[in-house]
């Protein structure tokens, strides 16, 4: 079942690179009592994700902050080392956007938002979307029809909807 507006986010564990190496962080910890934006991409360093999706949230960050968003989180079915390098390469980390690894795809699967594109090496990946959640409940959800498109799920589109 695909997640919908009004649903509670499934609990899962992401991995990030902290001061002492890889560390786990739960969806519940990230969202409990907080207003957060989570956007998911099919893969770090992939064309649309790299040139459109992440930059759109860097541009929209100040506006989202002004709407009370406490954290912007980018999630991908990649490992935490790749996510760290990608955050540095795009400027997302410097801009204050958290890039977290859903390495096993457990979160994408629990959200009902996985897809496969074996011809380009993408298997068990997350569909492209952006959402705003308050205290773990989805308030705004923008899903893309195609993984190569970043229109509804871009930072500016989500900002306009909040």
Instruction: Name the residue among 64, 84, 30, 76 with its Cα closest to residue 140.
Output: 64
Question: Is 49 labeled as catalytic in the residue annotation?
Answer: yes
| Marked catalytic residue, from 9, 36, 40, 49 | 49
pLDDT at 1 over 80: no
| Domains of the chain and CATH, by start | 13-161 (3.40.30.10)
pLDDT digits (tens, 9 = 90+) for 125-146: 999 999 999 999 999 999 998 8
DSSP string, 96-157: T-EEEE-TT-HHHHHHT-EEEEGGGTEEEEEPPEEEEEETTEEEEEEE-SSTT--STTSHHH
pLDDT at 115 over 90: no
pLDDT digits (tens, 9 = 90+) for 13-65: 999 999 999 999 999 999 999 999 999 999 999 999 999 999 999 999 999 99
């Amino acid at each position: 079942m695909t997640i919908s507006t009004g649903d509670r986010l499934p609990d899962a564990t992401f991995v990030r690179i902290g001061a002492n190496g890889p560390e786990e962080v739960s969806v519940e910890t990230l969202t409990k009592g907080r207003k957060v934006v989570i956007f998911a991409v099919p893969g770090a360093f992939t064309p649309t994700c790299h040139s459109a999706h992440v930059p759109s949230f860097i541009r929209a960050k100040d506006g989202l902050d002004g709407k009370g968003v406490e954290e912007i989180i980018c999630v991908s079915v990649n490992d935490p080392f790749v996510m760290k390098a990608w955050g540095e390469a795009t400027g997302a980390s410097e801009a204050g956007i958290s890039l977290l690894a859903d390495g096993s795809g457990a979160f994408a699967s629990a959200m009902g938002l996985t897809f496969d594109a074996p011809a380009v090496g993408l298997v068990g990946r997350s569909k492209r979307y952006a959402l705003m959640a308050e205290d773990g409940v989805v308030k705004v959800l923008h899903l893309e029809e195609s993984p190569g498109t970043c229109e509804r799920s871009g930072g500016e589109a989500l900002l306009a909807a909040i």
